[in-house]
């Protein structure tokens, strides 16, 4: 029954967002500054990244790969949140992240798994996943792919909730997605080495506080090769884990 309610909630939220569209293809509603009038989406998800440079840099949360990190394939990530979307831009090392499709074996393809980890309630006492984030407070996981095996595709992940021990480690997520892949919870576009994502804020399970934190990994063969934020790997911190990235919503 919970799954049915989740599906209905997603459908209603998708309708709410799509019904705000105007003739220009931008979402209608309040502006990010909180004033009245028509909402102008600040980032267009088209695999072209010039609009990121137009943002106020002081309002963009940024993480870069630390010198001496353990997972190094993700080089930089930027996050900008407004009341309608959470926007993400990231770059990776093209030598460490490959995608391909073997025409002689359709199952032999690398779809490039990408995970988004969200501390959606900004509470360090809930959530978990200390394996990759030192604050271990991740509540929601998005799991999706950047390619379809031979070309870049839109990011449309499934969403899972942390059900493990608070502050715990391991793959302690719900067995089934609480929001199924293909729901429209997110979209993405990119080229080799660069990608951008827009997450529909009102579709995030259990909501999202104005201040939240977030982390990311990129994988090959279901093994993480890049994690951000990260830190230098040391004797006491062999994996080089760091706290998730704090984001403040722009209104």
Flag whether 72 is in a domain. Answer: yes
Number of domains in the chain: 1
pLDDT, residue 15, reads 45
Flag whether 9 is in a domain. Answer: no
pLDDT along the chain (251 residues), means of 10: 40 44 37 68 98 97 98 98 98 91 74 97 98 98 93 96 98 97 97 97 98 97 96 98 98 94
CATH of the domain at 167: 2.60.40
pLDDT, residue 36, reads 62
pLDDT, residue 244, reads 98
Flag whether 236 is in a domain. Answer: yes
Flag whether 8 is in a domain. Answer: no
pTM of the model: 0.87
**Domain residues for 177?**
43-248
pLDDT, residue 35, reads 55
Task: Report DSSP letters for the chain, one per residue.
Answer: -HHHHHHHHHHHHHHHHHTTB-TTSPBPS--TTS-SS----S---SS--HHHHTS-GGGSEEEEPPTTBS-BSEEEEEEEE-SSEEEEEEEE-TTT---EE-TT-TT-EE--EEEEEEETT--TTS-B-TTTBTT--B-EEEEEESBSSSSB-----EEEEB-S-TT--S--B-SS-SB-TTSSSEEEEEETTEEEEEEEGGGSTT---SEEEEEEEEEETTEEEEEESB-B--SS-TT-BBPPEEEE---
Flag whether 34 is in a domain. Answer: no
Query: What are the pLDDT digits (tens) for 195-213?
Result: 999 999 999 999 999 999 9
């Amino acid at each position: 029954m919970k799954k049915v309610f989740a599906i209905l909630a997603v459908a209603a939220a998708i309708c709410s967002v799509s019904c705000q569209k105007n003739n220009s293809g931008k979402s209608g509603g309040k502006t990010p500054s909180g004033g009245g009038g028509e909402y102008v989406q600040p980032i267009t998800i088209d695999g072209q990244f010039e609009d990121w440079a137009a943002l106020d840099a002081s309002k963009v949360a940024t993480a870069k790969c630390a010198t001496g990190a353990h997972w190094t394939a993700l080089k930089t990530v930027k996050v900008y949140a407004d009341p309608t979307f959470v926007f993400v831009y990231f770059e990776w090392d093209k030598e460490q992240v490959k995608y391909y499709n073997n025409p002689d074996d359709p199952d032999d393809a690398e779809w490039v798994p990408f995970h988004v980890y969200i501390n959606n309630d900004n509470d360090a006492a809930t959530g978990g996943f200390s394996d990759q984030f030192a604050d271990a407070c991740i509540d929601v996981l998005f799991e999706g792919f950047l390619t379809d095996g031979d070309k870049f595709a839109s990011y449309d992940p499934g969403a899972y909730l942390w059900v493990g021990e608070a502050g715990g480690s391991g793959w302690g997520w719900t067995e089934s997605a609480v929001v199924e892949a293909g729901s429209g919870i997110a979209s993405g576009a990119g080229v080799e080495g660069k990608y951008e994502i827009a997450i529909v804020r009102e579709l995030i399970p259990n909501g999202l506080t104005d201040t939240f934190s977030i982390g990311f990994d990129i994988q090959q063969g279901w093994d993480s090769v890049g994690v951000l934020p990260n830190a230098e790997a040391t004797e006491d911190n062999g994996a080089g884990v760091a706290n998730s990235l704090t984001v403040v919503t722009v209104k």
